[in-house]
């Protein structure tokens, strides 16, 4: 709380918003290089400061927003903290799908884009860091897709971490209440719009907590004289408003199978991708689940679901924050770094180079 009166706060708030701070906010500032591109997706490589002290980390970001939530601003960046700790980071940015990406299917995204991105990251790490032993991290939908990929390609990574990634979709709160086959016109939306429109995505998330739209301005007014908070607020607002279209056919299959059927929780289901059954019990690598305590999009119960179906050991940890706030707080980066440190120093390649030895 500040020493300003309510009237002063309101005047300051209006003055601040008139400066259009959201448009001027700069996100994704950590230096990096793009090492691979496919369609709209790309792999961004963040070189570790002071050399690699840990195994490389491949990060699968969500498809519904931009990747910059992991690199929002200096001091509030998961990537920045990882790079400073000596972790080479390979981040899969799914890009901004266009109308032409409506026919792109889930199997194309998982076996095509995601697994190829991991392969190219591995080759890059082998050539530049002398290791291709990878840990992987998936956030939100990116985590759901990653877990499917790791079950289909068991052993493609050493360990997997999931952040706010729903698996037991029927426990994911209000979203699962909304995504019911008798009330959510999935086919009509995809047939009519092509992709799931970003505007609809944005308003859906806003309607999950209608009062949140008001309280965010109230929160800003109360801390309007805090420069750091104002900067963070503007960056968050920019990211929140920067949704991307979800490729139509991928969305159709994702919602039908995950939300309608809760198919990831079934090990005897009939869901096939590219002729192969989706079965999380096929995955055996160790999994660390990070669930956000205040998550209203992927509730902790939905994230913990993987423990019931995954074929390998699963550990869960609830970290402080909401679905998005978890990325800008200190709780998750600290927990993630502790998990990374458990993996030890980077080891030599296990691929073609190691086989030859």
Number of residues in contact with other proteins under rule CB under 8 A: 43
69 phi, psi to nearest 5 deg: -65, -20
Q: Is residue 229 a contact point for other proteins (CB under 8 A)?
A: no
| CA 42 – CA 38 distance, rounded (Å) | 6
Residue 48 carries which DSSP code?
P
Beta strands at 287-292 and 276-277: parallel, antiparallel or unpaired: unpaired
Q: What is d(CA 244, CA 66) in angstroms, rounded to the nearest whole number?
A: 7
Residue 180 sits in the site that holds other proteins (CB under 8 A): yes
Q: Using the minimum distance from each CB to other proteins, give the nearer residue, 45 or 310.
A: 45
227 binds other proteins (CB under 8 A): no
219: contact with other proteins by CB under 8 A: no
Instruction: Report how far residue 258's alpha carbon sits from residue 235's, in angstroms, rounded to the nearest whole number.
Output: 31
Choice from 104, 137, 156, 302 touching other proteins (CB under 8 A): 104
320 half-sphere exposure, CB direction, 13 A CA radius? 6
Distance CA 174, CA 343 (A): 36
For position 211 contacting other proteins by CB under 8 A, the verdict is yes
Q: Does residue 103 belong to the site contacting other proteins (CB under 8 A)?
A: yes
| Distance (Å) of CA 38 to CA 41, 75, 150, 295 | 5, 31, 20, 32
* Inter-residue contact 175 to 208 (CB < 8 Å): yes
Q: Which stretch binds other proteins (CB under 8 A): 101-109, 138-146, 285-293, 311-319?
A: 101-109
Residue 298 beta carbon to other proteins: minimum distance, rounded to whole angstroms: 18
Which of 191, 226, 270, 341: binder of other proteins (CB under 8 A)?
191
Looking at residues 20 to 79 of the shown chain, list those that interact with other proteins (rule: CB under 8 A): 38-39
CA distances for 101 relative to 39, 106, 117, 248, 357, angstroms: 9, 11, 18, 7, 43
Tell me how far, at minimum, the Cβ of 186 lies from other proteins, in Å: 10
Interface residue with other proteins among 16, 35, 47, 119 (CB under 8 A) is 119
* Cβ nearer to other proteins, comparing 197 with 325: 197
**Which spans of this chain sit near other proteins (rule: CB under 8 A)?**
3, 5-6, 38-39, 98-104, 108, 112, 116, 119, 123, 174, 177-178, 180, 182-185, 188-189, 191-193, 200, 207, 210-211, 214-215, 218, 351-353, 355-357
């Amino acid at each position: 709380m500040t020493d300003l009166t309510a009237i002063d706060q309101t005047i300051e708030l209006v003055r601040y918003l008139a400066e259009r701070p959201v448009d001027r906010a700069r996100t994704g500032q950590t230096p990096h290089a793009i090492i691979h591109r496919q369609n709209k997706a790309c792999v961004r490589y963040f070189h570790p400061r002071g050399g690699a002290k840990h195994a490389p980390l491949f990060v699968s970001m969500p498809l519904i927003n931009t990747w910059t939530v992991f690199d929002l601003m200096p001091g509030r960046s998961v990537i920045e903290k990882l790079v400073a700790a000596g972790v080479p980071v390979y981040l899969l940015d799914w890009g901004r799908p266009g109308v032409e990406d409506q026919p792109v299917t889930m199997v194309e995204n998982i076996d095509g884009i995601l697994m190829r991105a991991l392969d190219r990251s591995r080759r890059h790490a082998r050539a530049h860091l002398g290791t291709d032993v990878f840990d992987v991290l998936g956030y939100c939908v990116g985590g759901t897709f990653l877990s499917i990929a790791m079950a289909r390609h068991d052993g493609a990574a050493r360990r997997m971490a999931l952040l706010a990634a729903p698996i037991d979709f029927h426990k994911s709160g209000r979203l699962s209440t909304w995504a019911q086959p008798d009330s959510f016109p999935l086919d009509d939306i995809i047939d009519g719009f092509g992709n799931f429109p970003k505007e609809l995505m944005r308003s859906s998330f806003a309607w999950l907590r209608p009062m949140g739209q008001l309280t965010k301005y109230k929160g800003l007014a109360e801390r309007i004289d805090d420069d750091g908070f104002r900067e963070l607020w503007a960056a968050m607002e920019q990211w929140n408003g920067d949704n991307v279209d979800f490729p139509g056919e991928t969305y159709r299959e994702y919602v039908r199978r995950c939300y309608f059927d809760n198919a990831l929780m079934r090990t005897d289901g009939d869901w096939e991708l590219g002729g192969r059954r989706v079965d999380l019990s096929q995955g055996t690598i160790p999994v660390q689940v990070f669930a956000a305590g205040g998550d209203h999009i992927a509730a902790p119960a939905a994230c913990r679901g993987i423990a019931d179906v995954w074929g390998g050991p699963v550990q869960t940890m609830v970290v402080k924050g909401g679905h998005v706030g978890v990325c800008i707080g200190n709780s998750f980066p600290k927990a993630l770094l502790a998990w990374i440190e458990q993996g030890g120093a980077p080891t030599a390649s296990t691929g073609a180079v190691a086989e030859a030895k």
